[in-house]
Structure 1
């Protein structure tokens, strides 16, 4: 590069103010060597460098032979030219490499460390790898073993582990010792060895001696009492097994899958399997819900599950996280096995003798205190109110008990056969057997009457049933309303949707059991995001907690709300008709276009909705109805990807041509075409 070209680059990068302060400019001679000249073109530093960079703060980075360093304005070494590689400065520090060799432009076999701006060694170059600092932490590797350093370059996890994870949002990181990387499948997959957990301060909170490690990360689906009878129905179990079997069969033929296995470390694409299982399971559940009474269907939709968090084990990939968004409890086991796609604990798996289900888990808290000893209980759930709900299988029946953390003893001498496994909440728990359900206190004493059903507590109140009648009890087991209503939904935003008699009108009760919104609606749903959906003879609308009308009752249907008192919501004018966007501020349609389906505004991108047209093609619109991406996409996910790309291109809208080009470029069949193959006409984008 000649002197004029270097000056242009220098101006663009460093600015004129730096140029005025620094008068030396890199220049290459006819032999390819670099030196430095002043603004008049006079040589100041000899042409002796393989590479040379502009001066910054009186120093310039140069390469001599295969080594890097820094010189001052007199050409003397400011930082010795002895490093195989030097990264850019990160504040006052620079990552450097010593030794190694370069082949095809890639440095291998070097040792890494850090220096400061004076060239002093801050961290000795003794590591085979040093990761990028993130939140003040970086992994290091020496002799094939991993550890961690902080941004003061102190080693707080020694380099003695086969693999380490990344620190999660709560400051915890897993490590593996003695495992091996599965080089045939994926070099980042660890098999075998023992797992443990470190805290960000360097404390080892879980000893490195367990075959599996995980977290409590989702609600147990079978803790929904209204669905439990379905989950345990033999015919349901039979149909579900077939769905799962057919779903796994799809996985066998997914591209890049070479071996069918339930091994958690397998690198298979589960997407088709997951999609198949989820969609068909939903259909199966809906078919069973249709057999329920209208009141029970409403309860099943609104009652939810008991707050019973179940666990999944870590998929042992290098640098993955222990996700702890809900709590800091850590699950360990030495009898590791997976039972389903993502390790979910479903009660129907108890009856599958061909699966490894029981793990004999133990539990630690975030400070390293063992709350539940490992290798003792078949199944345990997240600690709650000083107890850990534990379960086991006995003669093909599910039995439950409560492990008392403080005493280390079980609450009941004899395990209880249960229909639903439940946790302790606010000092009591529901015992849900196959015959009756009742409340107990922390001493295990029965504190309520027997009921045929007790729904999960909401705002310190339980909805109960005897036969087909609903009532309310408080957290001490006292009856507020004896079972006498056709329907009482669980508390939501302080109120309960209620219907006194079958076929009667709906109103809303407070937690004292008194009507605060009279029974005046032909149908109603619980309050959510500040409003409740109600139906009069004129149609559906929305009401406030004081029974004032928020959306006029004149629509055939209103869509579920996804934000607090939304300014825009979707409504239907007629049965099974198109969906239109309503402005709740004016009670008028925001725009005239109708769609067969939608993803609501503010769900993925603020002010943008994904919509389906009459041909079931998908696009994106703005909140004023403007078409941003035409409705020609095959699915919503691709439409959102298209909108995201449109934003990256800084375009306000896409034409149909833009959208077609995007679809073609994202066509997986097209992307599989070989260089020597024939691409069909409809796969070209020009």
Structure 2
């Protein structure tokens, strides 16, 4: 019978299928060792010992998984395979790594995990941060602290806040403010801070120079790190500030203010829109009905769409009009090209507004941005073609669809075209590579594609634009025995199949010879006994060397190479990795960290190993000695219920 206690994320099982159940006694009991520690319990109290038998800590409080990324990364993913334990000792908390080593000694009043990235440590009214590997990020000397970036912390001392630099190991800004705010998550790091003094907010730099006076209300919204400030109000009214010019933009003169493009302030004045750049210079007069982005959600560029008198055009971010507002409807941009609407149809222009297509089309869309050229998909009624503005080649609409393809060729960008369930290939330059005459195309190796017709499957050379292997075979694939060959299947007159092999030049080749390499791996040895009795077991390593002779009724191998558990006549022997007994003593029972699967020849355990002989329990070390610890029974490693150890 298998008995055990399972916890969430960490599992400890007390006995294997060949082990006896633990006795339930009131005297001191112990668990199997896990990562260098074992739990002891007596009279309702429990504590943990280390591998020398000395008390290590009182209890496990919680667990967490360390972050796999630093604070500077956008997302810190936890390492689910590694577990850290939060433990307590004499009312203080510390952290132990998965290898049993102390990350932080049990010296802290509390430890908590914040944002899955930092540890918050508190001790006697002071606090600090550490990374999830236990490295302190600033001195333990402040009443409170916040994280601005990797090297700057806002810290509280004497009831006031200042800025501490870990790079310079000092207070950059003295603790003289009521609060700080900072745009740590902005696309670029700001060189200024929002600070509160006498109940009002202003802006300072990291040298404590005042950039804007303390006369504003502030909320953590619309945060930025450039010259535009939109998170302030003045006497309850919204205000936008340019830090370079110190100018305030507010109603009633300026309304509907948003930041667009590359740090441009779009604002409405006298009912019309204009643009002001990050330096505070008006680069587009307030003459437009609207100003919007000319690109889709996945692309940004230096151009904006402007609307004037109901017509649309294109404005560059420096204020220069590139395309006069003379077109109906929206203009869609990609790179330096724009789709415009002309009399209900569409055309394409460059940044000068010059039309690039000789005629208009029913629909025009930009194709996959992964092409080196900005390809444009053309539609005329129900058919599609495409245009390459780099070489100005037009492939007129003649296909049901055009898209990227899984077929590859060195130095050639390919598109797959289809018409009436037949497929072909074009290159991005607009040249036909493979006629639209095949039912299916499958990539074999770069430059060679399997093509299927009514007559069968063949191989086409894209670079040479010719058939290498005629389309008469049932199937063609890369040979699993030799990747330099193709395997073709062909029907025989007798109704069966035969296999043919071709090289990449289309030449028939003999079938590849598959060498038989004997597999070398560690294995259990099994020896038959006389009169049909049960076999005996041993173990040989990957070179065939016998480590444990086949003399045992049962043999279990420790997963991490620590040794073996061997059974003979109902007694157990603990063997080291060389197959030698760790101790001459035989045991009736052994406590395991993890129960082996039914029929498995592998177990998981670590030294010291809790072994029983009669009513005597002892912790056996890897050197064959016993720990000076009295144990009268077995308990689980974790004192928690079946729900397991809490996770931070």
TM over 0.5: no
Structure number with the higher helix fraction is 1
Shorter chain as denominator, the TM-score bin is: 0.3 to 0.5
